[in-house]
Amino acid sequence: MEKLHFSTPGEILKEEFLGSYNISVEQLVKEINLPEKTASKKIDWKASPSEGEALSEKTILNLIEGRLGVTKNIAEKLAHYFGTSCEFWLNLQREYDKRKEQL
């Protein structure tokens, strides 16, 4: 029986967001931790507020590679940066975890 593959939130981040907007991990990390006034306006997003831990390149790479799940802090920063909701990212993680348990 062939194993089903469920995309991790990190894979969705990589393919649907970084890939679609042609943003590197380095650029995301740099801009997601900046105060709103200094963020790039390449597309209609805003840098994340300064509350919570800054996201490192290692954190984003671990998320992309499936070694780390979406936390509330990560969800808040990604939501603010990409103009999505925090629940969008947390629901991706919940759904992935639920499907993984069912295997």
Give pTM, 2 decimals: 0.81
**Sequence-ordered list of residues with C-beta below 8 angstroms from that of 49, at least 6 positions apart, any chain:** 36, 76, 80
Q: What pLDDT does 58 receive? A: 96
Q: Residue 72 domain-assigned?
A: yes
Contacts of the segment 44-49: beta carbons below 8 A, 24+ positions apart: 44/83, 45/80, 45/81, 45/82, 45/83, 46/80, 46/81, 46/83, 47/80, 47/81, 48/76, 48/77, 48/80, 48/81, 49/76, 49/80
Summarize pLDDT for 7-24 with one digit per residue, the tens: 999 999 999 999 999 999
62: in domain: yes
Residue type, 12: I
pLDDT digits (tens, 9 = 90+) for 68-93: 999 999 999 999 999 999 999 999 99
Instruction: Mark out the alpha helices in the chain (DSSP H runs).
Output: 9-12, 19-21, 25-32, 57-64, 72-82, 86-102
Tell me which residue range forms the domain holding 96: 9-102
Number of domains in the chain: 1
Does 1 reside within a domain? no
Residue 27 falls inside a structural domain:
yes
CATH number at residue 94: 1.10.260.40
Whole-number average pLDDT of the chain: 85
User: For the ranges 36-40, 65-69, 81-85, which has the lowest average pLDDT?
Assistant: 36-40
Query: What's the pLDDT band for 102 if we cut at 50, 70, 90?
Result: confident
Which residues, in sequence order, are CB contacts of 91 under 8 Å at separation 6+?
A: none
Q: Is residue 2 situated within a structural domain?
A: no
